[in-house]
Structure 1
Amino acid sequence: LGLTQAEMAEQFSKWNNEELDSFLIEITRDILKYKDDKGFLLERIRDTAGQKGTGKWTAIAALQYGVPVTLIGEAVFSRCLSALKDERVHASRELKGPSVKPKVENLQKFLNHIKHALYCAKIVSYAQGFMLMREAAKENKWNLNYGGIALMWRGGCIIRSVFLGNIKDAYSRNPKLSNLLLDDFFKKAIDVGQDSWRQVVAHAFLCGVPVPALSTALAFY
C-alpha cells in the first residue's frame, strides 16, 4: 500500500482507540515507531521467529481433542516457515510471484477494510480457543467459568484487550454458549466486517502477500 513506518504506526495508534484496543496492537504501534541513531529498528530485525512452545502446545492439544484450532496452528507453522531463512531466500530467487498487482483506489477505505479483517479474524481466534477449552472441559469433567477466564486474561496477560469484556458479556448472557460466533454481539460484528475481510484476503492473494492467519480464519468461518 506504500505506507511509511510512521504512517503504519499512526494507523495502529488509531485502531488502538477503537474496537481493536489491545496490548498487541499497542506494542506493534510502539515497535513501528521505535528509532535509534541508525533509524527505524524494525528494518534491521531478522525476519525469523523462535518459539516458546505455547502455540505448539495449543496446536498439539487441538489435534488430541479433535478441535479445529486452525488459526493458532497456522500461526505456529508460519513461525516454522520463518525459521527456514536460507531456504526462503533461495526459493524467492527461483519462484515467481504475480505478474500484475491490483491497485487500491481508495487508501483510507482499504485501511478500514484491514481493520475489520483483523477484528473478524480475532473473533475467530478466540472462538476456536474457547472451543478447545470446552472440549477439554467435557473430556476431563472440568467445570470452567468461561466468562471468568476472559476477565482473568485482562489482567497483565499478553492477549489482554477491551475485547475480552465482550466475551465475558457473551457468556453472561448464555453460560451454555456453544460457540462465540453464535453470540449476537459477535454475529453482528462479523456481519459488519466480513465483506472487508474477504476483500483484504483476496487482495493480498492477488498481490502475492501471505496472510495465513487472516485466510485460515476466513476459511473456518
Structure 2
Amino acid sequence: MNTVNKAHKLIVTIVKKGQAKKVVKVSKRAGAEGGTIILGRGTGVHENKSFLGIPIIPEKEIILTLVGSDISNRVLSAIEEEANLCCPGTGLAMVINTKTITGIAHLLGINTYINEWTEVKSCMENQAVLYDLIVSIVNKGDADEVVEASKKSGAEGGTIISGRGTGIHEQAKLFNIPIEPEKDIVLTLIDREKTAHVLKKIDEDAGLNQPGKGIAFVLEVEKTIGINHILNRMVNEKFSDNDA
C-alpha cells in the first residue's frame, strides 16, 4: 500500500445545490487535482424558510478537496471568492489536517505546485475563534434529532448527508441476504468552547449511548471561511458586555 505522509489538507466546502461544479473548477485552476461532490441537505440561521407553514430544508452540495499544505491557502481563497462565502447564507468552508493518505501514488515524491504564486489572504485567515467539526452518524430519520439537539446547545445548524452501513448491532438479513441500513451523517461546525456541551446534548437527545443508535466524533478544524456573521455577533456581544 502506497501512502503519503507529507502534509496535506482536506478542504470541506458546503454550498447551495448547483454551485459545486464552479467550486471544483476554480479549485483546479488554483492547483487542486479535483474534488468529490456529495449531495446533502441542511439549514443555517439565514435559511429558515417555509412554504404554507411547512419548513423547507435547502439541498446542499458538499465538496471534498484534498490539497498539499503549500497550496491550501491559495485554493481556499479561490473557493471563497468564487462562491462568495464572505456573504451570509452562501455557504462555508473549513480546513482539516490529514494524517496519512493512500490512493494518490502519483503524488509520491512529486511537487508540481507553483510556490511563487502570491496567496490571497482569506477574510478569516486571522480568526481568533477555534472551531471543531462534529460528525454524527445515525440511523436514517434520526438526523433531525441531532440537528435540533445541536441548535439547542449553541450550534448554528447542521448539514445532513445520506449514506449506508452496518455496525455490530445491525447485522440484519432478509431471505438470508444482508441488509445495509440507510444512514444519516450530520456535519456540525461549532465553536470549540461549546464542543463538549453540544456533543453531550447530541448523545442524550439522539440516544447514542444505546447500542445501534449511532456514533459521533470530533475533528479539529484548522481554518474556516463563510461564518463572518458568527464572529460579528461575538464581537458585538463582547462590546455590549464591556459597555454594561
TM exceeding 0.5: no
Q: Identify the structure with the greater helix proportion.
A: 1
Normalising by the residue count of structure 2, what TM-score does the alignment of the two structures yield? Answer: 0.23
Q: Identify the structure with the greater strand proportion.
A: 2
